[in-house]
């Protein structure tokens, strides 16, 4: 019996050790760091006070929040329309379309920023081409600014939104529509009173994931604008691993703030997916298990919530 116990513990020990070393200790270190003075000693709330009062950091937070909210809302809107459209196709076409959008969701980070630089950067193909043709659609457009960032963020939000939303549309049964039609409801009335309420948990849940996704996005922004645009993630990066002066304590504080916002958003997603279960039938999470070997970023969150 004793040997049995020892065997089990031996099997678990490396896992516990790795998680402690690379997950628990770093989080703990970040938390304590955020409460340390700049010289690394003592306990203080100064970092938080500073982060939430300095115009510079406030701007970073504001920019990040704005870009996340905007890109999520646009991504969500496009995702909703396209997710609905996708359900209108025959299964074979639908699967191909989903595969294509899934494929493009691999196209993120540095390569994506890079593709946009080729297309729309200062010497981008389209920039030059349109100049040549005398079109001035891109006058006043600057890829390395707010509008460019939004454009690139939206690009990686749309496939994610689509992939997260389309299963929810299958929760809406054809019979409900028929029943509503029999009772005299028009298509618009059906969506307003039945469709949207049923979809709403999925919509809010997806919004949470998109928001977290945009808040945490670093590679794309960094590759596009370097340190030139004041975003929270970029600011954190330069505070702890910059080439000039590092301020790990301040970086930890901002990181804690960023993590709080993404944790909150993911928490919202979990709550909403759980509520989705309440409608019974096919939940997004359950469908996932059969079709979703390929879901890149968020499968476990949703499976977890699907419990």
Partner 1 sequence: MNIRKAGVAPRTFMLLLMIYLLLPLLATGLYAFAQDWQNTLLPRSWTLSWFRGMFQDIRFLEALWTSLYLCIISVLLSLAVMLPAVFVITVYFPRWESFMKGIVVLPYAVPGVVAAVGLIRAYSSGPFDISGTAYLLVGAYFVVILPYMYQGIRNSLLSVSAVELLNAAELLGARRRSAFVNVILPNIWPGVMVSALLSFSVLFGEFVLTNMLVGGHIQTIQVYLFRRVGESGHLASAIAISYFVFILLLSAVLMKLGMKIKGQAK
Q: Give the closest residue to 248 by CA, choosing from 95, 76, 81, 36.
A: 36
Task: Check residue 258 for interaction with partner 1 (CB under 8 A).
Answer: yes
What CA–CA distance (Å, rounded) separates 225 from 245? Answer: 19
Q: How far is the CB of 277 from partner 1 (least distance, A)?
A: 16
Q: How far is the CB of 289 from partner 1 (least distance, A)?
A: 7
DSSP 25-93: HHHHHHHHHHTS-TTS-S--SHHHHHHTT-HHHHHHHHHHHHHHHHHHHHHHHHHHHHHHHHHTS-HHH
Residues numbered 142 to 171 that lie near partner 1 (CB under 8 A) are 155, 158-159, 162
Of 65 and 259, nearer to partner 1 (C-beta) is 259
Count of other CB atoms within 10 angstroms of residue 99: 11
Taking CB under 8 A as the criterion, the residue among 60, 240, 276, 285 binding partner 1 is 240
Shortest Å, Cβ 241 to partner 1:
4
CA 158 → CA 118, 123, 138, 257, 297, distances in Å? 21, 26, 22, 26, 14
State which residue, 21 or 179, has the beta carbon closest to partner 1: 21
- Rank residues 56 and 107 by Cβ distance to partner 1 and give the closer one: 107
Q: Using CB under 8 A, which residues numbered 45 to 74 contact partner 1? A: none
26 contributes a contact to partner 1 by CB under 8 A: yes
Q: Of residues 71, 262, 272, 285, which one binds partner 1 by CB under 8 A?
A: 262
Binding mask 287-306 for partner 1 (x = CB under 8 A): --xx--xx-xxxxxx-xx--
Q: Where are the beta strands (DSSP E) in the chain?
A: none
Stretch that binds partner 1, among 141-149, 181-189, 235-243, 272-280 (CB under 8 A): 235-243
């Amino acid at each position: 019996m004793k040997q049995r116990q020892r065997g089990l513990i031996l099997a678990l020990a490396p896992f516990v050790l790795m998680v402690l070393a690379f997950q628990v200790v770093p989080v703990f270190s970040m938390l304590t760091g955020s409460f340390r003075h700049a010289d690394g000693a003592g306990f203080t709330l100064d970092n938080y006070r500073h982060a939430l009062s300095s115009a510079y950091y406030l701007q970073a937070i504001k920019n990040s929040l704005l870009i996340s909210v905007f890109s999520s809302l646009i991504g969500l809107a496009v995702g909703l329309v396209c997710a609905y459209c996708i359900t209108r196709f025959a299964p074979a076409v639908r699967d191909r379309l989903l595969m294509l959008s899934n494929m493009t969701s691999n196209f993120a980070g540095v390569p994506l920023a890079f593709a946009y630089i080729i297309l729309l950067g200062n010497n981008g193909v389209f920039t030059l081409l349109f100049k040549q043709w005398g079109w001035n659609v891109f006058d006043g457009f600057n890829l390395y600014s707010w509008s460019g960032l939004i454009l690139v963020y939206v690009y990686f939000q749309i496939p994610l939104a689509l992939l997260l939303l389309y299963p929810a549309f299958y929760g809406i049964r054809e019979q409900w529509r028929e029943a509503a039609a029999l009772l005299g409801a028009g298509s618009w009335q059906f969506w307003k009173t039945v469709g949207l309420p049923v979809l709403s948990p999925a919509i809010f849940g997806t919004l949470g994931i998109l928001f977290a996704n945009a808040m945490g996005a670093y590679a794309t922004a960094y590759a596009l604008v370097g340190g030139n645009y004041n975003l929270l993630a970029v600011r954190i990066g330069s505070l702890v691993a910059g080439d000039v002066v590092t301020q790990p304590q301040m970086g930890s504080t901002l990181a804690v703030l960023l993590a709080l916002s993404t944790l909150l958003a993911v928490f919202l997603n979990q709550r909403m997916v759980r509520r989705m279960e309440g409608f019974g039938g096919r939940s997004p999470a359950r469908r996932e298990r059969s079709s979703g070997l390929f879901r890149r970023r968020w499968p476990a969150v949703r499976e977890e919530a699907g419990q």
